[in-house]
Amino acid sequence: MEVGFLGLGIMGKAMAMNLLRNGFKVTVWNRTLSKCDELVEHGAAVGETPAAVVKKCKYTIAMLSDPSAAISVVYDKDGVLEEICNGKSYIDMSTVDADTSIKISEGIISKGGRFLEGPVSGSKKPAEDGQLIILAAGEKGLYDEAIPIFDVLGKKSFFLGQVGNGAKMKLVVNMIMGSMMNAFSEGLELTESSGLDPRTLLDVLDLGAMANPMFKMKGPSMLQSKYPPAFPLKHQQKDMRLALALGDENAVSMPVAAAANEAFKKARSMGLGDQDFSAVHEAIKGPKHP
Amino acid sequence: MEVGFLGLGIMGKAMAMNLLRNGFKVTVWNRTLSKCDELVEHGAAVGETPAAVVKKCKYTIAMLSDPSAAISVVYDKDGVLEEICNGKSYIDMSTVDADTSIKISEGIISKGGRFLEGPVSGSKKPAEDGQLIILAAGEKGLYDEAIPIFDVLGKKSFFLGQVGNGAKMKLVVNMIMGSMMNAFSEGLELTESSGLDPRTLLDVLDLGAMANPMFKMKGPSMLQSKYPPAFPLKHQQKDMRLALALGDENAVSMPVAAAANEAFKKARSMGLGDQDFSAVHEAIKGPKHP
Amino acid sequence: MEVGFLGLGIMGKAMAMNLLRNGFKVTVWNRTLSKCDELVEHGAAVGETPAAVVKKCKYTIAMLSDPSAAISVVYDKDGVLEEICNGKSYIDMSTVDADTSIKISEGIISKGGRFLEGPVSGSKKPAEDGQLIILAAGEKGLYDEAIPIFDVLGKKSFFLGQVGNGAKMKLVVNMIMGSMMNAFSEGLELTESSGLDPRTLLDVLDLGAMANPMFKMKGPSMLQSKYPPAFPLKHQQKDMRLALALGDENAVSMPVAAAANEAFKKARSMGLGDQDFSAVHEAIKGPKHP
Amino acid sequence: MEVGFLGLGIMGKAMAMNLLRNGFKVTVWNRTLSKCDELVEHGAAVGETPAAVVKKCKYTIAMLSDPSAAISVVYDKDGVLEEICNGKSYIDMSTVDADTSIKISEGIISKGGRFLEGPVSGSKKPAEDGQLIILAAGEKGLYDEAIPIFDVLGKKSFFLGQVGNGAKMKLVVNMIMGSMMNAFSEGLELTESSGLDPRTLLDVLDLGAMANPMFKMKGPSMLQSKYPPAFPLKHQQKDMRLALALGDENAVSMPVAAAANEAFKKARSMGLGDQDFSAVHEAIKGPKHP
């Protein structure tokens, strides 16, 4: 099975490598072409442009950094639209909002191509291990054909219906994540301020009904005020904002998410936007009485 | 090892049974004495009064329903204080606030006894399976001696220092639980209002970094608007209130917990106080446009 | 002084009438031309199109219902842009967001015209009485020339600098209004639930440091659960959303406004969007225990 | 009419002076007796103890600093209870919680005396000008007899029913005040962060439907980050806490007040508890990006 792959950032590179390792023929492209070298060593071919990749491959996957990059790769000169056509398929796994996804879908379909969005839940490690969770939406027939690809990239894929639903589901998941992070951080701070050992709280939580990988992974570094960016706080806050906007559209009142969002904004105002989203802990601890 | 056990409610009965099964000699007492029968069939002796149990046993454990019951069993006529003395120990595993625990501790110590509080995290099933988490605080020497007991009752015990710390740690844990439940419920409602399938959200969450037993256990019944009371909402809201009060004492600002608490209060005003705490979902869904 | 006036809704009609009464020559236009009749009886001339009004008058004022109407009157066929030119001025007093205002400004200026935005604080009664507060921004020279107009329409005008600042200031004012309304409503509900007479609260508030016309005006009808729409709740909630978005841009954490916004959303979900914004009281009272 | 007056702090002194100026015979007492001197110059008599004052006067008014002082003056040696009896009346105008007020009431009534609570709304200046608002509750007959006194001390008095209702009404008023102060402060900060002049916001607010003495009085000093304590922040936060507790008792969900309370707690954690309650502005501004 021949697959094109556009975008070799941290996530994309790991995903393309997994496809190669599992016997797919992969043609890669990246804006900075030198990033293709390592994949070429493992057997990948290189396309000069997104259009060239699409011309060569029946299926092309994209994993780009943000909505504007995702739009640009499709609509710009030498972009996907120049070669997409009846019989070819485009699967965008970038994290974008529903409107961007719909705009890309419309372009692809207007040329006769098939489209699927497939944002993922999971970061670098699950990408490397083929353990992502894939939130697909769009053309059901294409989803069915893409199952062998998704089986390599992720531990589970979901088909969610019309284009935009994948983006929306991801927002909900990240909103819950942001509120949970605030709940966790408030608990750590209350523990410490009450004269208890917050490391014990981590142990207690990890044994009970609320035990989850995120608390286990982030807790120890939060207690050391270390926040190496796995998922930058400014992106988390943006997702909270978009989730609240989705709630606004549908008249869903979400006071806990709203309070969590304001804490993330406070953290941004403290200059913590580029640190990990767990740095909201600094906003919750706040400035102390001198 | 001979152990007294006061209080044979859902939790206490399961715990006393585990002690019997593991070879302890157990003398039980319960306000309604007939509740002792099943334990007697399994080899327990019966004490006529709390004082009688303490007279007979070196170690006495209590598992009572609320602070007033915990106080009454110690301070009333025929209570623990009448027989507690140098060489005897009292371990109160009831869920009470720090002030109640300190009051009981003072009574026991004034008579020469040793005291340990040991509230547990976990409900009926973990109690039956000996899988509780024990948050002990008080006399360290007594804690060390009680390890064989705790090994039977729980999967893990913690020693947290001075009396009151066990109660406080339990409040923090329950506060995080309450905020998480709100985050979860808001996410379910946003999913449904956005035209997505909330059962898929449950599946996605269960595969990712936020996967936890509580979401897995409560989610499906919440989607059916069913809230059989494992932990009553009014007790959850009381614990949020007490945790916020603890934060107030220590000037810890906790806006997410505060927002969650107001949602639980709204649920109480809707008459949901005796249902499971996951019934806060009804307050978040709210009354709909007719 | 000859002045054009576009838009004769509740506000616009009252404002144009005030100009006529104070000796201005006024040429009016309205999408439904019959709405011009009453003003013609008082001496107004009628323009067939926005372009015709601008052609005839050196100064043209607009008071339109929403951003899309404000854009349409300028950019559509027979619109303002067809006749605006060097020497002519356009003053848009509609309530629009900063982006809309900037877009209109750019169109006017590109044709050589001068532009001022001038959203107002105040509703029907102040419009009739010439007691509006005018939040002007844009071309300072035009503002100075327009003072005689503003003196007739309002009790006070402010010049706030560059285009967009008038819109932003209005959002801040309405955000404070929305939070105050929630504070007031929570207080009324707490009074009633505590067995006190909320009418007494109204009296006490009206005598003290927080006395304000809004509490005085809205309180009595809120106690009767009556919310005749002076300012529709859905518009208030939209302004809260936009103010929070402005805060998001500038990383300003505003937890009280965020909580108030969620209450307005709850009220929308209850079908109260077209009632007065004081109907948020119904969301705060909430469904009661049967 | 002969009146006793216990407590000559800032408020009490101004009130007793007003009684003297209006022709009342006044016998004063203060823990530090030298504080009585100025009043003696204006014609007051001095009582050696609270009991001595009560013995001499048919009506005794108290204006003490806090609940413990209010209790102590009644229940301690040489206190009010030693001389209160059938035919004598006690009016406590101190700001205390409902429970304290009820405890004092019970003591007075058990001796045959009559009791009225009468907390006031207003601070130093209204006290001096006889412009307080009096929230009376307790014995209605005594209230009717006390009207001439209240007419001198305040511009308006209310009779609110049973003892405790005055204290509760005052909590509601102060809760609204705290939420309004947060709404105001968020608005000021949003204005400044958006590049607008917050002094203009003060002017705009003062002309519109939300105009109120508090914004007018506190705004200018808040913009200079000056918070001379008229009403200390820690007392405001305590009143928010008690109002929220009253809401908890009655299952009233108040998310805006809860968010405001958390902001006051944040301000306390920053060491601002002894400054004016408007210092919550510092917590809302927060630490800025360096």
In three-state secondary structure terms, A164 is coil
- Looking at the structure, do residues C179 and C158 belong to the same domain, yes or no? no
- Residues paired with A25 in a beta bridge: A2
Domain containing B25 equals 2-163
Verify whether the Cβ–Cβ distance D265 to B259 is below 8 Å: no
Same domain for B258 and B152? no
At residue B290, does pLDDT exceed 60? no
Q: Which of the 8 DSSP states describes residue C22?
A: T
Interchain contact, C255 vs D262, CB within 8 Å: yes
Give which of C133, C127, C180, C122 is closest to C159, Cα–Cα: C133
Euclidean distance between CA atoms B101 and B117, whole angstroms:
7
Local structure of residue C285 (DSSP, 8 states): H
- Statement to judge: residues C20 and C140 lie in one domain: yes
Interchain contact, B258 vs D263, CB within 8 Å: no
pLDDT of residue D61: 98
What positions of D carry a catalytic annotation? 170
* Contact: B196, A251; criterion CB under 8 Å: no
CB B219 within 8 A of CB B266: no
Q: What is the pLDDT of residues B210-248, one digit of tens each?
A: 999 999 999 999 999 999 988 889 989 999 999 999 999
% of chain A surpassing 70 pLDDT: 99
Residues of C within 8 A of D196 (CB-CB) are 160-161, 165, 168-169, 172
User: Looking at the domain assignment, is residue C290 inside a domain?
Assistant: no
At B66 the pLDDT is 84
Distance from C-alpha of B263 to C-alpha of B181, rounded to nearest angstrom: 11
User: Quick check: C190 and D243 CB within 8 A?
Assistant: yes
Token output for D188: 């000021």
B53 lies in the same domain as B12: yes
Q: How many structural domains does chain B have?
A: 2
Task: Answer yes or no: are the C-beta atoms of A78 and A51 closer than 8 Å.
Answer: yes
**pLDDT value, residue C124:** 83
Do residues B149 and B253 share a domain?
no
Question: What's the mean pLDDT when you consider all of chain B?
Answer: 95
Give me the residue label for tokens 């639209």.
A81
Look at residue D290 and tell me if it is in a domain: no
Give yes or no: residues D48 and D119 share one domain. Answer: yes
Name the nearest CA neighbour of A180 among B180, B205, B217: B180
| Residue B201 forms contact with A (CB below 8 Å) | yes
Ranges assigned E (strand) in chain B: 2-6, 25-29, 45-46, 59-62, 89-92, 114-117, 120-121, 132-138, 154-159
Contact D230, B234 (CB under 8 A): no
Give yes or no: residues D281 and D247 share one domain: yes
DSSP B30: -
Which chains have 3+ CB pairs within 8 A of D? A, B, C
To 5 degrees, how large is the angle CA C224–CA C226–CA C228? Answer: 155
Q: Taking residues C162-177, what's their average pLDDT?
A: 96
Q: Does some domain include residue D77?
A: yes
Whether the CB-CB separation of B75 and B111 falls below 8 Å is answered with no
User: What does the pLDDT average to over C66-71?
Assistant: 92
Which of A162, A192, A212 terminates a domain? The answer is A162
Contacts of D122 (CB under 8 A, 6+ apart): C208, C209, D131, D132, D133, D154
Nearest CB among A247, A262, A283 relative to C258 is that of: A262
C-alpha separations of C245 from A241, A262, C242, D71 in Å: 9, 11, 5, 51
Residue A188: closest C-alpha in chain B: B172
Residue B290 lies in a domain: no
Query: A144, A162, A180: which is the final residue of a domain?
Result: A162
DSSP type of residue A1: -
Query: Which residues are CB-neighbours of B200 under 8 A, at least 6 positions away?
Result: A158, A160, A169, B191
Q: What is the mean pLDDT of chain C?
A: 95
pLDDT for B289 = 52
d(CA D255, CA B263) in angstroms, rounded, equals 8
pLDDT of residue A290: 47
Contacts of B43 (CB under 8 A, 6+ apart): B20, B26
Output the average pLDDT for chain A. Answer: 95
Task: Establish if D39 belongs to a structural domain.
Answer: yes
Q: Nearest by CB to A241, from C248, C262, C269: name it.
A: C248
pLDDT, residue B244, reads 96
Q: Are residues A158 and A172 in the same domain?
A: no
User: How many C-beta atoms surround the C-beta of residue A163 within 10 A?
Assistant: 24
Rounded Cα distance between A155 and A150, Å, is: 8
**CB–CB contact C211 D213 (8 Å):** yes
Walk along chain D (290 residues) in steps of 10 and give the mean pLDDT of each run: 93 96 97 94 97 98 92 98 98 92 97 97 89 97 97 97 96 97 98 96 96 97 94 92 94 97 96 96 78
- In angstroms, how far is the first alpha carbon of chain C from the final one? 65
- Taking residues C158-179, what's their average pLDDT? 96
Judgement on whether residues B184 and B40 belong to the same structural domain of the protein: no
CA angle at B115 for the pair B111 and B118, rounded to the nearest 5° = 155
* Beta-carbon contacts of residue A83 (< 8 Å; ≥ 6 apart): A51, A52, A54, A55
What are B129-151's pLDDT values in tens digits? 999 999 999 999 999 999 999 99
What single string gives the DSSP state of each residue in B213-254? HHHHHHHHHHHTT----SSBHHHHHHHHHHHHHHHHHTT---
Name which of B4, B48, B61 is nearest B27 in CA terms. Answer: B4
Q: pLDDT band at residue A65, thresholds of 50, 70 and 90?
A: confident
Residues of chain B with pLDDT > 70, as a percent, come to 99
**Same domain, residue pair D150 and D208:** no
Tokens representing C187 are 């207080």
Does residue A73 sit in the same domain as residue A190? no
Cα separation values, A22 from A15, A122, A143, A165, C158, Å: 11, 20, 19, 29, 68
Phi first, then psi, for residue B114 (nearest 5°) are -110, 150
CATH code at D156? Answer: 3.40.50.720
Average pLDDT of chain D is 95
Distance between CA atoms of residues A261 and A268, nearest Å: 11
Chain B, 233 to 262: residues with Cβ < 8 Å from chain C are 255, 259
- DSSP for chain D? -EEEEE--SHHHHHHHHHHHHTT-EEEEE-SSGGGGHHHHHTT-EE-SSHHHHHHH-SEEEE--SSHHHHHHHHHSTTSGGGT--TT-EEEE-S---HHHHHHHHHHHHHTT-EEEE--EE--HHHHHHT-EEEEEEE-HHHHHHHHHHHHHHEEEEEE-SSTTHHHHHHHHHHHHHHHHHHHHHHHHHHHHHTT--HHHHHHHHHHSTT--HHHHHHHHHHHTT----SSBHHHHHHHHHHHHHHHHHTT---HHHHHHHHHHHHHHHTT-TTSBGGGHHHHHH-PPP-
H-helix or E-strand containing C160? none
Separation of alpha carbons C7 and C1, rounded Å: 19
At residue C288, the pLDDT reads 61
CA distances from D278 to A40, B43, D159, D228, D246 (A): 64, 67, 30, 9, 23
Tell me if chain D has a CB within 8 Å of the CB of A190.
no
Residue A247 lies in a domain: yes
Q: Is the pLDDT of residue C289 over 60?
A: no
Mean pLDDT across the stretch A217-241? 94
C140 part of the active site: no
Q: Label residue A97 by pLDDT band (50, 70, 90).
A: confident
Is position A290 within any domain?
no
Average pLDDT over residues B84-89: 97
CA distances from D78 to B161, C78, D50, D106 (A): 45, 90, 6, 18
Q: Are C59 and C84 in contact (CB under 8 A)?
A: no
What pLDDT is stored for residue D290 in this prediction?
47
pLDDT for residue A121 is more than 60: yes
Nearest beta carbon to residue C256 from set D135, D183, D209: D183
CATH number of the domain encompassing residue B251:
1.10.1040.10
CB C239 within 8 A of CB C121: no
Domain termination residue (choose one: A128, A162, A196): A162
Residue with tokens 């710009």: A76
Please state, for a pLDDT cut of 90, what percent of chain B lies above it: 91
- Joined together, the tokens standing for residue A212 give 């989850």
Strands of chain C, DSSP E: 2-6, 25-29, 45-46, 59-62, 89-92, 114-117, 120-121, 132-138, 154-159
Which residues in chain C are closer than 8 Å to A269, comparing Cβ atoms? 251-253
> Quick check: B124 pLDDT over 70?
yes
- The minimal CB distance from D259 to the residues B247, B252, B255 is found for B255
For residue D51, CA distances in Å to A284, D83, D138, D278 come to 51, 5, 22, 40
Confidence of residue A230 (pLDDT cuts 50, 70, 90): confident
**Number of neighbours of residue D86 by Cβ within 10 angstroms:** 8
H-helix or E-strand spanning residue A34: none
Rounded average pLDDT over A158-171: 96
Asked if C263 and A281 count as a contact pair (C-beta separation under 8 A), the reply is: no
Per DSSP bridges, beta strands B45-46 and B25-29 are parallel
Q: How far is CA A238 from CA A178, A241, C267, in A?
A: 11, 5, 25
Domain match, A255 and A130 both: no
Is D137 in the C-facing interface, judged by CB distances under 8 Å? Answer: no
| Measured distance CA(C118)–CA(C165) in Å, rounded | 10
Residue C142 inside a domain? The answer is yes
